[in-house]
Amino acid sequence: MSETNPARKVAVVTGAARGIGAATAARLARDGFAVAVFDLDEAACASTVEIIEKDGGRALAVGCDVSDPEQAEAGVAEVVAELGAPAVLVNNAGIIRDNLIFKMTPQEFDAVIGVHLRGAFLMAKACQKHMVDAKWGRIINMSSAAALGNRGQSNYSSAKAGLQALTKTLAIELGPFGVTSNCVAPGFIATEMTAATAERMGITFEEFTGRYATSIPVRRVGAPEDIAQAVSYFAREEAGFVSGQVLYVAGGPKG
């Protein structure tokens, strides 16, 4: 096996207990990575780990609040001890606390920035040293079409735009060490996060996705696997000359 063979590499996916993160973890496992499944609650990671193991892959559940510096460091140390040094990091963990600005509290603003942006920074900081040592790494940050601005999401939009800037800065700083950094920016994806939005709006998820789909050029909402395949691309060996980019995966043009 060559040093760059993905089969010998380890990927960390945050927020991987469900949704886009779970699909991404499963996809990277199929691509040959041993996958560390990070989420707030270790027990909640069990279903993702089970899916990967049933498919013949290797996975490790790690309970970690990515917005906490000590937990991020400890989580990555656990990965190094159990699976080996992380070569791929997918910063996917996220929350929403939607409100119009006149109602949004500073706590709602900080909580969202804390998980998406500070969490991505902390995880990248903890993982990059291993990537730099190995002279190979892939950091993939989950942005959003909301980075372009979205009503009721001044916290989330700011975090997702901030992630694009973080991505470009990491690409510049870490490129000399064989580490690329890119963003996937999903449009509407059917997950528990968007289901919760439908519930808040007082409509069924079917009604919500149906309405949304009419505004999307390909006339459907996205599935977690649509995003997982884009992450898979950025994680590959042959994507090594692609860095600092934002790929909108939204069923039509964005950006």
In order of 183, 188, 190, 212, the CA distances from 218 in angstroms are 22, 12, 15, 11
* Cβ distance to ligand NAI smaller for residue 193 or 239: 193
Q: Are 93 and 117 in contact (CB under 8 A)?
A: no
Q: How far is the CB of 71 from ligand NAI (least distance, A)?
A: 8
Q: How far is the CB of 177 from ligand NAI (least distance, A)?
A: 26
Q: Rounded CA gap, 140 and 230, in Å?
A: 10
Give catalytic residues, as residue numbers.
Answer: 156
**Binding interface with ligand NAI (CB under 6 A):** 14-15, 17-21, 38-40, 64-67, 92-95, 115-116, 119, 142, 144, 186, 188-189, 191-194
* Cβ distance to ligand NAI smaller for residue 66 or 134: 66
In order of 36, 189, 244, the CA distances from 61 in angstroms are 6, 24, 29
* Cβ distance to ligand NAI smaller for residue 134 or 189: 189
Q: Which residue is nearest to ligand NAI (CB)?
A: 19
Q: How far is the CB of 52 from ligand NAI (least distance, A)?
A: 16
Q: Rounded CA gap, 23 and 41, in Å?
A: 18
Q: How far is the CB of 81 from ligand NAI (least distance, A)?
A: 20
Written as six digits, the tokens of 232 are 């898979």
* Cβ distance to ligand NAI smaller for residue 15 or 137: 15
What backbone torsions phi and psi does residue 170 show, to the nearest 5 degrees?
A: -65, -35
- Considering only CA atoms, which of 82, 95, 178, 186 is closest in space to residue 139? 178
| 91 three-state secondary structure | strand
